[in-house]
Amino acid sequence: MRRPFTPATKYPHCRRKSERTIRTPLFTCGRPVPHDGMAIHTSPPAWRAPQRPGTAFFMTTWTLADRAAKMNPSAIREILKLTDRPGIISMAGGLPSPLAFPLDEFTQACQSVMQRDGASALQYATSEGFAPLRQAVADFLPWEVDPDQVLITTGSQQALDLIGKVFLDRGSRMLVEKPTYLGALQAFAPQEPIPVGVDSDDDGILVEDFAAKAGTGADKARLAYVLPNFQNPTGRTMAEARRQALVDKARELNIPLIEDNPYGDLWFEQAPALPLAARNPEGVIYLGSFSKVLAPGLRIGFLVAPKSVYNKLLQAKQAADLHTPGFNQRVVSEVIKDGFLDRHVPTIRAMYKRQRDAMLAALEREMAGLDVQWTRPVGGMFLWVRLPKGMDAQKLLPAAVERGTAFVPGAPFYADEPQANTLRLSYVTVSAEQIDKGIAALADAIRSTM
């Protein structure tokens, strides 16, 4: 190409696509952009083709909402697209292992639902969710929950979106852990809040920093979002004393806590401490999901909210999608009846524990002498790696991919003050043999950039 793209170029969409590719961590200075399959010279010129009689004009100049300009693709999913190719041992994904999906039970449940419910299983449903499933959720949780406080959502990601719509305005302060789940930052972003990172350590969020950053008056935080159990991305678990202190401080400051617990059932040695919601049901909105213990493709999550705010969340749900697919809800309800999760989840724990152990052993062996640190999760799907000071994980990624492995750089998980020398590893979709090879390749990449 003889000249750079400018805003006046006939192909601004080409320019934007190239810019997005260049900004991904895999493409550093001096690295060629991959072939895109597009060229300025075409025969006949592509930009004239839509103007011919009988064709539609599809290159629009529509005016979009201001918030659309602030929407960005998931940094993780962009990385996964670039690393999802044959030969790459990917420790980047946040996916549960497909080996954990109860395929036979789902097959039987689908047949049972259709035989029992027929056309009603395919009809519109209530916005609150399938009543037997709401009851099952209430019975499963370790504190007294009224089923009328349970809202079935299209994955827990939708629950975050609903909470953002109900609680946040442009410029609203919200508190998050440092680092935090990237998907939550994305879910809240359309409301244009101001996310403020709160310092954390191996025992979870630091309550003193939480209080210091809570704000006052009109600037007081509208909510605080936390993942107490086996956090994504760090894998750490909030200590008992820290949980109670956080609940007490949030109650004192009148700040709603959003407790996200998608990994809480995936403990290895012992169950985690009581949820925050069990300590103050009127001050916490609790989020859960069947994605990690059954299958993510069903998109079945839930929230438990105080009655004072439940109806507003329900109204936001009605406006978003009317209801979560009723057939999927009935299938999940059918699968989990008669205590199936009590039998199924321990098999997932055992599998993930073996893979966690393999990754910890590989890190101990391969990272010796490299000044690399990592967390030791007691459950969940992830661990967090801290590289030597001054090293940039985004710049390390291309070297790792060249050696046949991939990870997620840590910077996108920070609401502010990103720490470039961090990265996330997932151990649940790779075998012990792949873990050994992947960690060895990662260590070699680190040595090559030191």
Token couple for 400:
């790792």
Are the C-beta atoms of 174 and 222 separated by less than 8 Å?
yes
Total residues belonging to the chain? 450
207: enclosing H helix or E strand:
helix 207-212
In this model, does residue 38 exceed pLDDT 80?
no
Q: Which residue has the higher pLDDT, 212 or 21?
A: 212
What pLDDT is recorded for position 86?
82
What pLDDT is recorded for position 394?
95
Interval 284-306 mean pLDDT:
98
User: How many whole angstroms separate alpha carbon 394 and alpha carbon 430?
Assistant: 22
In this model, does residue 20 exceed pLDDT 80?
no
Among the ranges given (22-26, 34-38, 308-312), the one the predictor scored with the smallest mean pLDDT: 34-38
Overall domain count for the chain: 2
3-state helix, strand, coil in the chain (%, to 5): 45, 10, 40
Q: Final residue of a domain: which of 337, 369, 395?
A: 337
What pLDDT is recorded for position 69?
77
| Residue 14 forms part of a structural domain | no
Q: Which residue has the higher pLDDT, 362 or 27?
A: 362
User: Within this chain, do residues 153 and 297 fall inside the same structural domain, yes or no?
Assistant: yes
Q: What is the DSSP letter of 28?
A: -
Helices (H), 337-450: 340-366, 393-402, 432-449
Number of other residues whose CB lies within 10 A of the CB of residue 315: 14
What pLDDT is recorded for position 85?
77
| Residue 52 forms part of a structural domain | no
| Residue 367 forms part of a structural domain | yes
In this model, does residue 32 exceed pLDDT 60?
no
Interval 172-195 mean pLDDT:
97
- Tens digits of residue pLDDT in 387-409: 999 999 999 999 999 999 999 99
What pLDDT is recorded for position 36?
52
| Residue 309 forms part of a structural domain | yes
Helices (H), 260-339: 276-279, 307-321, 326-336
User: Within this chain, do residues 364 and 396 fall inside the same structural domain, yes or no?
Assistant: yes
User: How many whole angstroms separate alpha carbon 422 and alpha carbon 416?
Assistant: 14
- Which among 185, 165, 163 has a CA at the least distance from the CA of 175? 185
User: Within this chain, do residues 89 and 108 fall inside the same structural domain, yes or no?
Assistant: no
| Residue 383 forms part of a structural domain | yes
User: Within this chain, do residues 390 and 324 fall inside the same structural domain, yes or no?
Assistant: no
User: Within this chain, do residues 88 and 135 fall inside the same structural domain, yes or no?
Assistant: no
In the chain, what percentage of residues exceed pLDDT 70?
Answer: 86
- Which among 403, 402, 408, 416 has a CA at the least distance from the CA of 382? 408
**CATH number of the domain within which 359 lies:** 3.90.1150.10
**CATH number of the domain within which 182 lies:** 3.40.640.10
- Tens digits of residue pLDDT in 298-313: 999 999 999 999 999 9
For residues 301, 236, 259, 355, the Cα torsion angle rounded to the nearest 10 degrees is 10
Confidence of residue 73 (pLDDT cuts 50, 70, 90): confident
User: How many whole angstroms separate alpha carbon 45 and alpha carbon 278?
Assistant: 64
Confidence of residue 39 (pLDDT cuts 50, 70, 90): very low
In this model, does residue 278 exceed pLDDT 80?
yes
In this model, does residue 57 exceed pLDDT 60?
no
In this model, does residue 210 exceed pLDDT 50?
yes
User: Within this chain, do residues 316 and 244 fall inside the same structural domain, yes or no?
Assistant: yes
In this model, does residue 276 exceed pLDDT 50?
yes
Q: Final residue of a domain: which of 283, 314, 337?
A: 337
Q: Which residue has the higher pLDDT, 28 or 168?
A: 168
User: Within this chain, do residues 287 and 427 fall inside the same structural domain, yes or no?
Assistant: no
Are the C-beta atoms of 25 and 399 separated by less than 8 Å?
no
Q: Which residue has the higher pLDDT, 95 or 28?
A: 95
Q: Which residue has the higher pLDDT, 417 or 310?
A: 310
User: Within this chain, do residues 228 and 274 fall inside the same structural domain, yes or no?
Assistant: yes
Interval 234-257 mean pLDDT:
98
Domain of 179? 103-337
What pLDDT is recorded for position 21?
60
Between CA 93 and CA 371, with CA 27 as vertex, the angle to 5 degrees is 65
User: Within this chain, do residues 167 and 197 fall inside the same structural domain, yes or no?
Assistant: yes
User: Within this chain, do residues 113 and 208 fall inside the same structural domain, yes or no?
Assistant: yes
User: Within this chain, do residues 112 and 179 fall inside the same structural domain, yes or no?
Assistant: yes
In this model, does residue 42 exceed pLDDT 60?
no
Burial of 77 (0-12, 13-18, 19+ CB in 10 A): middle
What pLDDT is recorded for position 47?
45
User: Within this chain, do residues 83 and 206 fall inside the same structural domain, yes or no?
Assistant: no
Token couple for 40:
């300025």
What's the half-sphere exposure (Cβ side, CA atoms, 13 Å) at 255?
32
**From the CA atom positions of the chain, what is the Rg in Å?**
24
Q: Final residue of a domain: which of 318, 337, 356?
A: 337
80: enclosing H helix or E strand:
helix 75-83
In the chain, what percentage of residues exceed pLDDT 90?
Answer: 80
Are the C-beta atoms of 427 and 438 separated by less than 8 Å?
no
Among the ranges given (87-96, 130-139, 261-270, 429-438), the one the predictor scored with the smallest mean pLDDT: 87-96
Confidence of residue 19 (pLDDT cuts 50, 70, 90): low
| Residue 65 forms part of a structural domain | no
What is each CA distance from 168 to 145, 191, 419, in whole angstroms?
26, 6, 26
Q: Which residue has the higher pLDDT, 60 or 87?
A: 87
